[in-house]
Structure 1
Amino acid sequence: MSEVTMRFNKTELRDFIEIHDIQRDIGNNRSISIDHAPRIGVNIQQQTIDAKYIKVDFSIWSKDRNTLKHKLAGIFNVDSPKELTFSDEPDKYYLAMVIDDISMQEASGRRSNGSIKFIIPDGVAHSSAYKRFDSDKNATREAGKMVFDLINNGTESAFPIVKVKHNAENGYIGLVNQNGTLEIGNREEADTEPSQKSEILLDFRGEKITNGLAIAAKNQAITNDRTEYIVGTAEMINLWERPHVRLKDLRGETKLHNYATSLTWSIPNDSTGSTGSLHDYFWWRQVFWSEANNQYGFIKVTVSDETGQFLYGVETFKRSLGSECEFNFLAGDGQGGYRILKRWNFDGTTTGDINPFNVAKGWSDLKRNDGKIQVFYQGSYSTFIIPEIEGKKSAKIHITIGAYRDNPIVSHMYLDELYYRKDFVPTTNDIPNRFPIGSNVLINSEDDTVYIDDIAKANEIVDGSQWLSIPPGKSKLELYFSSFIKKHPTVTIEFEERWL
């Protein structure tokens, strides 16, 4: 079998070992619990399937065998299962780690023979590519539901990833197949309560952020700090395959003030012609990543009222030497000043998970219901009651990107996306639904998570639901939606096939 090669944890081993034999047994060991039947035979109480094991016989050849052994020991020294692939199964991988000793026998010359035993805790081989089914090609539509015809060529059940992009308002998603039922939202959610609905009045998601920059009023922001020197220039930049808005440059005359640029959007009239709002929801994505400890700067997302007074908002701020940054929730105090109601700290000099505004993440949202504000940070929500803003309508949304005096500016401070939704619009018959037009729902049975517009929403799962699996062979998966939905969403289903 010398032509077969092995790859473990992204390391190709063809340059280190020569494979002579691979022992991949048929299926896995089964443990069966029984008790005796009254007269003849036994009753099966339970069957469990154990982990999978793979044994690889190999040899190494080197003038310095001990150095090579140490290198191999480092490659196999992992604390959790990693991807294991063989060249004779290019369409499959295993999640494996080494078990038992890797014993070696010194042969003639510079060759040593040995064997490696891998344990595959989940007991299966996975397909290297996801199988995909699209609603446009693989589903039939009936009143209130969508039916997928699925094929799983594996020998074990697969765990689907379901992506739903809404083409109309919806409040409920139900998934049903022979293995279980999973419900998201509220099956009884109505769409016709008097005088309430949601309207997306500003939408600068994705590439549309360029339009947001074009139509925004420049350098007219109202923030918590009236001393900011907002005269800079905002420009577009493309990094990481997406557009961003940033502060173009840092001028040198701002030793005593914070030099900044800003974008302002008036909240448009709703469908009834009403201006302003007491019920806001806006979502945005930003990047805040400092490449050096001596860089400073801020991004502010703020809301002002009809009289031009600061109401509430958040700021992401690096104001000190080091790596510590702040994410502050602010609100007006009713006397022309402001209060910091909550401060979170994070490390802004890394792109890792401890920075919520790294390149791969950066999503956040604010929701207002008159004097109550809900703030999202790092996967959870905090709620604040602010009597000082009760009854004061939101009129404008502001984004301010700035430097801290004349210090070096944070390398990556960008606005990527933003959309604004007005809730509880009067004199209409539509109510705000969980899933507005354009919203995206991700239901992932691989890791048991639900995301709505990239924000975790486990609380939307209906009690008693079961995470779905796709049985081997041909099967059907039905999706149900709210009775009032006007157009079915676009749905994709993906899963890895699995084999014993």
Structure 2
Amino acid sequence: MKQAGMQIAYAGVYITQWMYVQMVQRDIGTKHASTMQKVGVSDGQMWQYMSRDVKTIVVTGIVMNDDLVPLRRSLAAAIDTDEPQQLIFGDEPDKYYLAIVDSQPTFTEGFRSGTISITFICPDGGIAHSVATQTADNMGDNGTLTDEIAVQNDGTYPVYPVIDATMRGDNGVLTLINENNGAILQFGNPGEVDGVQAPDSETVFHYNLMSAPSGVAVNTGTINYPTYPYGSSPGPNTIAGSWDYAKAKDAATPILNRTVAMHWAGPTYHGSIKANAAGVNTGNLIWSNRFNVITNVGALGRVEFNLQSGNNIAICFVMRDNTYAADTLIVEGWVNGNNVFKQNLNRALFTNGMYEIVESKLGNTTTFRLTKVKQLTASGIVSSAQTVFPPVTIDGMADTPIDSFTVWMAGFSNTTGWTINWSDSVFQWVNVNYWKDLPNRFKDGDVVQVDVPNRRVFVNDAEDPTLQTIGNNWDEFKVQPGSNTIKLLTSSWAKQCTAEVSWQEAWL
């Protein structure tokens, strides 16, 4: 039976469909609780501070119905919640109280009628909140973006805002300043830079190895291990064999000429490296090679990536598996005839599959970086493991010309060999300064939402706890009654972001 009188909704349900409201006790404003302290023997007490205590709202009404049992059950279900919900009264439909039922609601039943009393408690002190959300942005009257947002709070109580900022290019930091009280919220790194002056890359060649690379010879060049000095019949290792481009997708696979001779044998690629734009071969360089390796216990194999200076090897990387008894991968680095590192790879991390070796020279310093490739994407390599070997500085490397390369993939005697192929090779001279853009904390189009009421930060709708900064003034960052200004700061080199502030006004 629908009841008449004031309409009251709780948690989205009109509870007045089951009762006629006789009285609502909301009192005036909020409940104040003052803390006092007795000082010495003086009269009275000294006031310390005031806080707003919880507020109660009591709704009393009557029901008239032939069957009160289902009514009682329905009303009980409507007001039974585990956390505070919106409580809206018909005389103020644009405002709500955040309330939860306190203690036991009473229901005194008579003949076909009953009296109901429900006590709601408001944990936030009984603040009346606006149902509507107000917004303001940083778009100026002339259509240009400003670094400030004017916020007019027409309520009588300070409230916490929500700020949505959309990046218009790379940016390292978002700083929000409440200019009314100086509260600051900062997300990101204010010291982040947009980029650096970096050496330019002049690509000499990029071979994808889907077919025979142009201008590259087979079975010539210099190898780092020309002899095999072990066993009962030591002798020279052999450059022999050919390359197949159909055996593996988008890669060159070595075809070995197996013999019983106890030494290493396999084909090579040898190609020249033209001088840089300055006409010299002594500049800084980067040589990147990707290859696939599958090996296990009992399988042997070897690969060399050599940069030559004339007939001498200036820089060399070796990966080998030369033991029948274990599943091992050993790597070596050589610079101007000096063995600069040799170590076993951790096979739990450096598993079978694709690898990338990057050999680089910067002045007298040579660096090797080995990556186990997990995935190739449009934006680069996703690695599952990586090791950068200690840089090696040797006098004279800066003046050592690099004029050719040799790649050698070999097997041992007629034993079981590993599976290997060569898929990609890029050589670059690094000799001109240019502006290198660095990845920043925020990129173009990123939407950063600062949810001040709940102390949370979202980037593109996903919460990002890494942006939380110790020292942020969450508690103080309130929009006060009246005029407010929120200032927006980004990295000094970044474009001004677009931003919108939203808030729900509140009244005492």
Shorter chain as denominator, the TM-score bin is 0.5 to 0.7
| Contact 2:98 2:122 (8 Å CA) reproduced | yes
What's 1:31 paired with?
Answer: 33
* Aligned mate of 1:192, from 162, 174, 195: 195
- Which residue identity lines up with residue 447 of structure 1 in the other structure? N
SS at match of 2:139: helix
The CA distance in 2 between the partners of 1:121 and 1:186, in whole Å, is 37
Q: What is the Cα deviation at residue 461 of structure 1?
A: 2.8
Q: What percent identity do the matched residue pairs reach?
A: 27
The CA distance in 1 between the partners of 2:46 and 2:20, in whole Å, is 48
What's 2:451 paired with?
Answer: 444
Task: Give runs of aligned pairs for residues 412-431 of structure 1, distance below 5 A.
Answer: 427-431=434-438
What's 1:320 paired with?
Answer: none
| Contact 2:103 2:119 (8 Å CA) reproduced | yes
Q: Does the alignment pair 1:8 with 2:7? A: no
The CA distance in 2 between the partners of 1:194 and 1:384, in whole Å, is 26
What's 1:45 paired with?
Answer: 48
What's 1:151 paired with?
Answer: 152
CA 1:450–1:65 in 2, change beyond 3 Å: closer, same or farther?
same
CA 1:371–1:28 in 2, change beyond 3 Å: closer, same or farther?
farther
Q: Deviations over 1:368-401 (max 9, x none)?
A: x966989xxxxxxxx98524999xxxxxxxxxxx
The CA distance in 1 between the partners of 2:50 and 2:469, in whole Å, is 31
Task: Give runs of aligned pairs for residues 167-206 of structure 1, distance below 5 A.
Answer: 167-177=168-178, 178-179=180-181, 180-195=183-198
Q: Normalized against structure 1, the TM-score is what?
A: 0.53
The CA distance in 1 between the partners of 2:38 and 2:290, in whole Å, is 81
The CA distance in 2 between the partners of 1:191 and 1:16, in whole Å, is 64
The CA distance in 2 between the partners of 1:164 and 1:308, in whole Å, is 45
Structure with larger Rg: 2
| Contact 1:140 1:147 (8 Å CA) reproduced | no
The CA distance in 1 between the partners of 2:479 and 2:459, in whole Å, is 23
Task: Give runs of aligned pairs for residues 303-452 of structure 1, distance below 5 A.
Answer: 333-335=351-353, 385-387=384-386, 427-452=434-459
SS at match of 2:129: strand
What's 1:129 paired with?
Answer: 132
The CA distance in 2 between the partners of 1:494 and 1:388, in whole Å, is 48
- Which residue identity lines up with residue 498 of structure 2 in the other structure? T
What's 1:454 paired with?
Answer: 461
| Contact 1:94 1:126 (8 Å CA) reproduced | yes
- Which residue identity lines up with residue 132 of structure 2 in the other structure? A
What's 1:74 paired with?
Answer: 77
- Which residue identity lines up with residue 14 of structure 2 in the other structure? E
| Contact 2:10 2:87 (8 Å CA) reproduced | yes
Task: Give runs of aligned pairs for residues 263-278 of structure 1, distance below 5 A.
Answer: none
The CA distance in 2 between the partners of 1:454 and 1:431, in whole Å, is 24
- Which residue identity lines up with residue 492 of structure 2 in the other structure? S
What's 1:405 paired with?
Answer: none
| Contact 1:140 1:148 (8 Å CA) reproduced | no
SS at match of 2:77: helix
What's 1:498 paired with?
Answer: 506
Q: What is the Cα deviation at residue 441 of structure 1?
A: 0.6
What's 1:470 paired with?
Answer: 479
- Which residue identity lines up with residue 430 of structure 1 in the other structure? D
- Which residue identity lines up with residue 457 of structure 2 in the other structure? V
Q: What is the Cα deviation at residue 105 of structure 1?
A: 2.9
What's 1:115 paired with?
Answer: 117
What's 2:87 paired with?
Answer: 84
Q: Does the alignment pair 1:102 with 2:105? A: yes
Q: What is the Cα deviation at residue 427 of structure 1?
A: 4.9
Q: What is the Cα deviation at residue 104 of structure 1?
A: 2.5
SS at match of 2:75: helix
Q: What is the Cα deviation at residue 155 of structure 1?
A: 2.1
Structure 1: give runs of 5+ residues left out of the alignment: 197-221, 223-277, 279-304, 311-330, 338-368, 375-382, 391-425
Q: What is the Cα deviation at residue 332 of structure 1?
A: 9.0
- The alignment of Structure 1 onto Structure 2 pairs a total of residues equal to 300
- Which residue identity lines up with residue 87 of structure 2 in the other structure? L
Task: Give runs of aligned pairs for residues 247-258 of structure 1, distance below 5 A.
Answer: none
| Contact 1:451 1:457 (8 Å CA) reproduced | yes
| Contact 1:372 1:384 (8 Å CA) reproduced | yes
The CA distance in 2 between the partners of 1:480 and 1:83, in whole Å, is 36
CA 1:460–1:106 in 2, change beyond 3 Å: closer, same or farther?
closer
CA 1:479–1:307 in 2, change beyond 3 Å: closer, same or farther?
same
CA 1:65–1:125 in 2, change beyond 3 Å: closer, same or farther?
same
SS at match of 1:54: strand
CA 1:309–1:371 in 2, change beyond 3 Å: closer, same or farther?
closer
Q: Normalized against structure 2, the TM-score is what?
A: 0.52
Q: Deviations over 1:5-54 (max 9, x none)?
A: 11112222232111122111112221111234676764321211111211
CA 1:138–1:72 in 2, change beyond 3 Å: closer, same or farther?
farther
- Which residue identity lines up with residue 11 of structure 2 in the other structure? N
SS at match of 1:66: helix
- Which residue identity lines up with residue 334 of structure 1 in the other structure? N
Q: What is the Cα deviation at residue 138 of structure 1?
A: 8.1
SS at match of 1:194: strand
* Aligned mate of 1:489, from 497, 501, 505: 497
CA 1:161–1:138 in 2, change beyond 3 Å: closer, same or farther?
farther
CA 1:373–1:189 in 2, change beyond 3 Å: closer, same or farther?
farther
CA 1:308–1:75 in 2, change beyond 3 Å: closer, same or farther?
farther
| Contact 2:490 2:497 (8 Å CA) reproduced | no
CA 1:308–1:128 in 2, change beyond 3 Å: closer, same or farther?
farther
CA 1:50–1:481 in 2, change beyond 3 Å: closer, same or farther?
same
| Contact 2:351 2:372 (8 Å CA) reproduced | no
* Aligned mate of 1:479, from 470, 488, 502: 488
- Which residue identity lines up with residue 75 of structure 1 in the other structure? A
* Aligned mate of 1:17, from 9, 15, 19: 19
- Which residue identity lines up with residue 83 of structure 1 in the other structure? Q
Task: Give runs of aligned pairs for residues 288-303 of structure 1, distance below 5 A.
Answer: none
| Contact 2:371 2:387 (8 Å CA) reproduced | no
The CA distance in 2 between the partners of 1:60 and 1:139, in whole Å, is 60
Structure 2: give runs of 5+ residues left out of the alignment: 200-248, 250-287, 295-348, 356-369, 376-381, 390-432
SS at match of 1:183: strand
What's 2:253 paired with?
Answer: none
- Which residue identity lines up with residue 439 of structure 1 in the other structure? D
